[in-house]
Copies of this chain bind each other. A is one copy, B any other.
Amino acid sequence: MELKGFFPVWDKLTEEQKRQLESASSLRRLSAGELVHSAQTDCVGLLALRSGRLRAFMLSESGREITLYRLFERDICLFSASCMVRSLQFDVSIEAERDSEFIVIAPEAYRRVMEQSAALANYTNELMATRFSEVMWLVEQVLWQSFDKRLAGFLLDEAALEGSDKLAITHERIAAHLGTAREVVTRMLRYFQAEGLVSLSRGAVTLKDRKGLAAISK
């Protein structure tokens, strides 16, 4: 199950602890768009991502979204096992953004080993701190960055992730990533288009001037 590759502290676990984690692990595949974890589902467990991409997002009561962070190959998703940490009192939803394959570690088993192993507990601490840092970056963006900066930065990030200047994404989806309303996105994209930064077509945004977008995003 190659958990070793996901946990730099693996060698600090006892053979019995390794065995406990391994026997609590199972392989799972999801197709792009499928939900891994939400406020309504049970505590799935820790996810160790072998391939694909996951998106963690927050969902408001009225159905609005904002992307908190993405998880890539070799990342570990902690919040799908939030029941493990008593004081985690918030709901994060996690979906497969691409076809994904991951190892699920049952939360009870992980918790048991974490209670015995200072190495694993400290590593889990680092994992949480990493996500916390990403969320704090987001708070700064939302509070103190103008929307044109955030949108220009988002388009550049997406182009880098997709390896293409043509993004197959609707204004609605962009709004869900950035935690705003579709109209706000449409208005700013039209402004970007008028400035020659992007071109818009049905269900797609094409970057036309990366340098111009980069200048805005700074």
Contact = CB atoms under 8 A, between A and B. Distances in A.
Contacts of A137: 90
**What is the count of identical protomers in the complex?**
2
A16 interface: no
Question: Interface size for chain A: under 10, 10 to 19, 20 to 34, or 35 or more residues?
Answer: 35 or more
A183 interface: no
A133 B87 contact: yes
Interface string A61-88: 1101010000000000000000001111
Contact of A90 (B120, B121, B127, B133): B133
Contacts of A85: 125-126, 129
A139 B87 contact: no
B128 A122 contact: no
Which 5 residue pairs across A and B have the least CB separation, nearest first? A121-B121, A87-B129, A90-B136, A89-B133, A118-B118
Interface of A: 58, 60-62, 64, 66, 85-90, 114-122, 124-133, 135-140, 142-144, 179
